[in-house]
Amino acid sequence: MGVVEALGVARATRRLAVCVLLGASMASGGAAAISEAVLSPRNASYTISVELDAAEKRLEGSLLLEWRNIQDLPTDELRFHLYWNAWRNNRSSWMREDRYRGRSDRGEKILAEDWSSSDLESIRLLGVDDQPATDLLPTLSYLWPDDGNIDDRTLFKVDLPAAVEPGETIRVEIEWTARIPRTFARTGYRGDYFFLAHWFPKLAVFEKEGWRAHQYHAATEYYSDYGVYDVSMKVPAGWVLGATGREVERRDNGDGSETHRYSQADVHAFTWTVSPEYLELQDRFEEPGLPPVELRLLLQPEHRRQAERHFAATKAALKYYGSWYGPYPYPQLTVVDPAFGSGAGGMEYPTLFTSGTRLFNPLGAGRPEGVTIHEAGHQFWYGIVGNNEFEHAWLDEGLNSFTDARVLEAAYDEWVYSKRYFTPPGTEAGQGFFPFLFRDIRLTREVDGNGLDRYRRTAISDVQSMPTWRYHPETASGISYSKTATWLHTLERHLGWDTLRRILSTFFERFSFAHPKPEDFYAVASEVAGEDLYRFFDQVVRQARTFDYAIDSVKSERQKAEGWFEADGELVLREEEQSPDESSEEGAEYHTEVVVRRLGSGTFPLDVLLVFEDGSEVRRTWDGRYRWKRIAHDGPSKLEYAVVDPERTLLLDENYTNNSRFLEPGDRWPATKWAGKWLMWFQNLLMSFAYFV
Amino acid sequence: MLGALIHGLRRTAAAPGLVILLWLASLVAALPAAVMVQEAIHRSVGTSLARESLREGFDTGWFGEFEAASEGLPATLSPSHTGVGAVFDALDAWWNGDLFRMPVSTLVFGVTFALLWLFLLGGALTRLHRPRDRMGWVDVVAAGGRLFPRYLRLAVLSAPLYYGVFRLAGWLFPKIEHLTRDVTLERTVLVYNMLAAVLIVLLLALVKMVGDYAKIAIVVENRRSSVLAFLAGCGFVLRHPISTLGLVSLFAVLTMALIAAFAAVAPGARESTVVGIILAIAASQVFLVLRTALRLGLLASQVVLFDEQRRRI
């Protein structure tokens, strides 16, 4: 049999398989794993048959897309993403932007076989009833709406022979082949390990304004409609496979391969992974008031002893996200521990996510717990609430980062600073093989969990309300993740957790299985909080305002009855020595003046606290609008220190050190203490230099 | 080998002044920089409440602000300088070559100290070679000054070899990364990296041994030519590979034991009283004194070994 002939037979077989699967699926009223309750519009459903050539690192697949136009306007075209073409060569927009964010050496390390591709063999619009199919391939054209890069092949359109009217359903059959990348953007292979995400031609989202489709960018992720996925994957027999949804069928093909069929409804993506090495472990999440969830963990064998930590972190996420926002609606969740060096860790997909750990990873270092909670949390923010990650990534990444830090704080006692040693040359500093925990240095949710440092570095690099794909690639995540988490935590401290939780749970409830926009979030927030929060959002999202309040000066002096006084209608100059006996003076003894300043462009109402030597306190509120405010107080005690925003409500304040000031100049011992530690390091370093002479 | 080790340690113990001198050299060289860092920290915390949180422990919030605003030496401050982390940081930078990618200000201090160390080494080796001679500070410094030009030439001769080792490391580790690009288990990759690291550390030790025995040859045999001394060092190491390498290995074990002991007692971040802060600084300096003593002990043992082998001939 010739190659061309073989290819033709294979295609025909796959096409037949798709038809059989679709027929079976429809005949049975949907696969077993498809839930009875319809949770989403299910307007973009896929039946896919794909074969993995593990040796050649290739995929051959065919799919049947059923798409229903749920908007009020017709369309005479379809737009699709071909994500894997982002790594077809180094001229794609993704690769150009990747270089732009300072990873210029990546291209040099890429070998010819590392690049990927996704090529359409055919695309046909199936006819209704007995009408023949229409070949759409001749109408295919690539689109570059974002940057006009004609070398980019991540987005294409095909013209339809007739417009799809509102409410109308069409069926499109696609055959394609793909070369699997050596991992880019957490998808690809390493040896016999495969993690395959965004791997098939995927329909973009048709919204009320028309097609909402962007090219694939280095700093953005994905956006698609909900549907039913029924996917059959042919892989080498005996390998362990994990995928979105549940396995509904497994067939031994008798040729050394197996076909696994997985199905899941009400999701907007389908991801799978396969490897001969995975350890497969099961557990079950049970929590009063929440539905049970079957947990499946695909673990690297060398991480066997960390299995329970993965389960515990996943359960913590399901528990807290579930009770704070709403229950996880699917019956199962798959946790994937990716292969070492695969670069596939820390990514979310519907009902499946990747965590990420290391061979040596003591409890307290924050991993794999932090990443597991974060990615499990994405089941809620991204999976269930499906915002457009091309344009408003902060809606899921930010809300999720805020929440995962909250869960980490609630579920774990110890989170300390750690550093990894034995760092081979060329490896990023501190990413060595052996960790060391500094148990005296505890990390906190507000600073380390939210990523306050990243927020500080990126605060003004972009206006947050801009489409995410327009962000500078290097600082995009700082805004989407850290800035959002920081302003949400600020809101939590301003409004109280109960109010913020109600805001988030209301937003979750209203936009589950939908595509909310930032305006929806602002509206829900103001409505639930019962106050106009638009001014706050204007400053932090629609503008890149910076926040910095400071104590400018403090003064606290004993009241002196000196100067010009009126006595019996005449002006009298009273000098200090003429002052009456101070001990006999009634009322105020000390006059205290504190000047607070607003150094940033953003404003926020704050408290100013004056603490006196006798332990008494005076608290004043300040709307924080004018550039400065003088706070005066007369009292019996001398000021010890003053602090603006004593509870640190405004976590967005980029310099909190200047928020407080003691009246008396302090000693140098704290500085000496840390300079002493630095001295020790520096002497060791100098002795290392001396080694070479 | 063991005899050389014991005799070397005895000679070092009999010359505490030398240990103190070399330790003081590192302290004096580092102190001005530490004062700069102290001033930068003090200026940053000023009279704010952060001062108190730094006194009680470490404040990651303050540190982020400090780091963002710092340049030069103060910018090298890291929470990992706490306790034994300071030693690990320096060791990691030593073996993987990050030492030479440090900021210019650090490099200037490093090179200056290396020259000072080289200067003192001449005197120290002379003293260790003649343990019964009474050598005062002036004699030690005079010997250092006399030998310094030759030692400097030796350092220049060693430099290309060290450069070659780091070039090899720069080639080897990416090669390992490439060879293991389809390996899915970290432990396998770790083994490859450890083997490569052992090779690199071994080569660094080899170059170091050649340099050390060349310096010893200059002192013991009063060699005038640095080149011939260097060749003598090479010859000695090649003729006695087991004893020379064994000696270095024994001292490496002793140094690791010292680091482990320090890790067990090293002050963390929580000392807050003046006494506690002083004791913490003192503890770290005691560790440095002992580390210097071990460094000197190795040199003394090498002198003994060199003398023994010479006498046998």
Domains of chain A: 1-181+196-236 (no CATH), 408-542 (no CATH), 549-667 (2.60.40)
Task: Give the pLDDT confidence score for residue B172 in this predicted structure.
Answer: 96
Residue to substitute from B28, B67, B81, interface A, most A β-carbons within 10 A = B81
Q: Do B277 and A676 touch (CB under 8 A)?
A: yes
Average pLDDT estimate for A574-580:
59
Chain B window 67-126: which residues touch A at a Cβ cutoff of 8 Å?
Answer: 67-68, 76-94, 96-99, 102, 106, 109-111, 113-115, 117-118, 121
Average pLDDT estimate for B178-183:
94
Q: What is the pLDDT of residues A478-491, one digit of tens each?
A: 999 999 999 999 99
Average pLDDT estimate for B65-69:
95
Q: For chain A, what is the total number of helices (H) and then of strands (E)? A: 13, 34
Cα–Cα distance for residue pair A389/A19, rounded to 1 Å: 33
Q: What is the pLDDT of residues A357-376, one digit of tens each?
A: 999 999 999 889 999 999 99
pLDDT of residue A625 exceeding 60? yes
Chain B window 121-160: which residues touch A at a Cβ cutoff of 8 Å?
Answer: 121, 151, 155, 158-159
What's the angle, vertex CA B156, arms to CA B151 and CA B158, rounded to 5?
90
Task: Give the pLDDT confidence score for residue B117 in this predicted structure.
Answer: 96
Chain B window 227-256: which residues touch A at a Cβ cutoff of 8 Å?
Answer: none
pLDDT of residue A26 exceeding 50? no
Cα–Cα distance for residue pair B280/B269, rounded to 1 Å: 9
Assess contact for B127 and B151: CB atoms under 8 A. no
Strand partners, A117: A179
CA-CA-CA-CA torsion for A583, A586, A587, A590, nearest 10 degrees? -30
Assess contact for A424 and B173: CB atoms under 8 A. yes
Q: From the CA of B132, how many Å to the nearest CA of chain A? A: 27
Assess contact for A600 and A547: CB atoms under 8 A. yes
DSSP element (H, E) containing A68? strand A58-68
Cross-chain CB nearest to B99 (options A430, A442, A689): A689
Q: Do A436 and B92 touch (CB under 8 A)?
A: no
**How large is the angle between the packed helices B274-312 and B16-45, nearest 10 degrees?**
150
DSSP string, A254-323: SSSEEEEEEEEEEES---EEEESS-EEEEEEEEETTEEEEEEEEEE-GGGGGGHHHHHHHHHHHHHHHHH
Cα–Cα distance for residue pair B254/B294, rounded to 1 Å: 8
Q: By three-state DSSP, how is residue A195 classified?
A: strand
Assess contact for B289 and B20: CB atoms under 8 A. yes
Q: Tokens 């398989």 — which residue?
A: A17
Q: Which residue has the higher pLDDT, A36 or A52?
A: A52
Cross-chain CB nearest to B60 (options A430, A448, A679): A448
Assess contact for A126 and A67: CB atoms under 8 A. no
How big is the A-B interface in CB pairs under 8 Å?
303
Question: How many CB atoms sit inside 10 A of residue A627's CB?
Answer: 10
Q: By three-state DSSP, how is residue A47 classified?
A: strand
How does DSSP classify residue A114?
G
Task: Give the pLDDT confidence score for residue A501 in this predicted structure.
Answer: 98
Q: By three-state DSSP, how is residue B161 classified?
A: helix
Q: Tokens 């004609």 — which residue?
A: A150
pLDDT of residue A9 exceeding 80? no
How does DSSP classify residue A133?
P
Q: Do A426 and B151 touch (CB under 8 A)?
A: no
Q: Do A669 and B281 touch (CB under 8 A)?
A: no
Q: Which residue has the higher pLDDT, A578 or B258?
A: B258
Q: Do A666 and B185 touch (CB under 8 A)?
A: no
pTM: 0.92
Cross-chain CB nearest to A426 (options B64, B90, B173): B173
Spell out which residues of chain B touch residue A689, defining contact as CB-CB under 8 Å.
99, 110-111, 113-114
Extract the runs of DSSP E, i.e. beta strands, from B170-292: none
pLDDT of residue A4 exceeding 80? no
Average pLDDT estimate for A561-588:
67
Assess contact for B166 and B204: CB atoms under 8 A. no
Q: What is the pLDDT of residues A366-406, one digit of tens each?
A: 889 999 999 999 999 999 999 999 999 999 999 999 999 99
pLDDT of residue B141 exceeding 60? yes
Q: Tokens for B76? A: 């090298």
Q: Measuring CA to CA, which residue among A259, A256, A285 is closest to residue A272?
A: A259
Task: Give the pLDDT confidence score for residue A8 in this predicted structure.
Answer: 43
Q: What share of chain B has pLDDT > 90, as a percent? A: 91
Assess contact for B201 and B163: CB atoms under 8 A. no
Task: Give the pLDDT confidence score for residue A589 in this predicted structure.
Answer: 87
Q: Which residue has the higher pLDDT, A460 or B260?
A: B260
Task: Give the pLDDT confidence score for residue A104 in this predicted structure.
Answer: 53
pLDDT of residue B270 exceeding 50? yes
Mean pLDDT of chain A: 92
Q: Tokens for A180? A: 């699997």
Q: What are the CA-CA distances from residue A280 to residues A296, A299, A337 (Å)? A: 7, 6, 10
Cross-chain CB nearest to A665 (options B41, B47, B159): B47
**How large is the angle between the packed helices B2-13 and B241-265, nearest 10 degrees?**
50
pLDDT of residue B105 exceeding 80? yes
Spell out which residues of chain B touch residue A690, defining contact as CB-CB under 8 Å.
113-114, 117-118
Q: Tokens 């110890």 — which residue?
A: A414
The amino acid present at A166, given as its one-letter code, is P
Q: Within its chain, how far is the Cα of A326 from the centroid? A: 19
Average pLDDT estimate for B124-128:
94
CB burial string A165-175: b at 16+ within 10 A, e below: eeeeebbbbbb
Q: What is the pLDDT of residues A182-228, one digit of tens each?
A: 999 999 999 999 999 999 999 999 999 999 999 999 999 999 999 99
CA-CA-CA-CA torsion for B47, B48, B51, B56, nearest 10 degrees? 140
Task: Give the pLDDT confidence score for residue A110 in this predicted structure.
Answer: 87
Q: Measuring CA to CA, which residue among A421, A475, A419, A472 is closest to residue A451?
A: A475
- Among A10-24, A116-130, A578-592, where is mean pLDDT lowest? A10-24
Q: Tokens for A489? A: 């935590």
Half-sphere exposure (Cβ direction) of A30: Cα atoms closer than 13 Å: 17
pLDDT of residue A19 exceeding 50? no
Q: What share of chain A has pLDDT > 70, as a percent? A: 92
pLDDT of residue B304 exceeding 60? yes
Beta A332-336 vs A290-299: how paired, if at all?
A: parallel
Average pLDDT estimate for A430-448:
94
Q: Do A432 and B92 touch (CB under 8 A)?
A: yes
Task: Give the pLDDT confidence score for residue A573 in this predicted structure.
Answer: 83
pLDDT of residue B88 exceeding 60? yes
Residue to substitute from B70, B184, B255, interface A, most A β-carbons within 10 A = B184
Assess contact for B219 and B129: CB atoms under 8 A. yes
Cross-chain CB nearest to B93 (options A427, A447, A685): A685
Task: Band the pLDDT of B312: cuts 50, 70, 90.
Answer: confident
Per DSSP, helices labelled H in A467-543 are: 476-477, 484-495, 497-511, 518-529, 534-537
Q: For chain B, what is the total number of helices (H) and then of strands (E)? A: 11, 0
Q: Measuring CA to CA, which residue among B123, B99, B198 is closest to residue A690?
A: B99
Strand partners, A210: A207
Cross-chain CB nearest to B174 (options A339, A358, A426): A426
Average pLDDT estimate for B134-155:
92
Q: What is the pLDDT of residues A266-280, one digit of tens each?
A: 999 999 999 999 999
Assess contact for A188 and A116: CB atoms under 8 A. yes
Q: Give the start-to-end residue ranges of the domains of chain B.
A: 2-51+58-71+84-312
Q: From the CA of A519, how many Å to the nearest CA of chain B? A: 32
Q: What is the pLDDT of residues B195-235, one digit of tens each?
A: 999 999 999 999 999 999 999 999 999 899 999 999 999 99
DSSP element (H, E) containing A676? helix A669-691
Q: Measuring CA to CA, which residue among A226, A120, A134 is closest to residue A171?
A: A134
Q: By three-state DSSP, how is residue A203 classified?
A: strand
Length of chain B: 313
Cα–Cα distance for residue pair B151/B137, rounded to 1 Å: 19
Q: By three-state DSSP, how is residue B78 classified?
A: coil
Cα–Cα distance for residue pair A464/A486, rounded to 1 Å: 13
Q: Measuring CA to CA, which residue among A689, A674, A83 is closest to residue A349?
A: A83
**Cβ-based neighbours of B254, under 8 Å, separated by 6 or more:** B294, B297
Cα–Cα distance for residue pair A426/B68, rounded to 1 Å: 25
Task: Give the pLDDT confidence score for residue A103 in this predicted structure.
Answer: 61
pLDDT of residue B121 exceeding 60? yes
Task: Band the pLDDT of A569: cuts 50, 70, 90.
Answer: confident
What's the angle, vertex CA A592, arms to CA A589 and CA A598, rounded to 5?
170
Mean pLDDT of chain B: 95
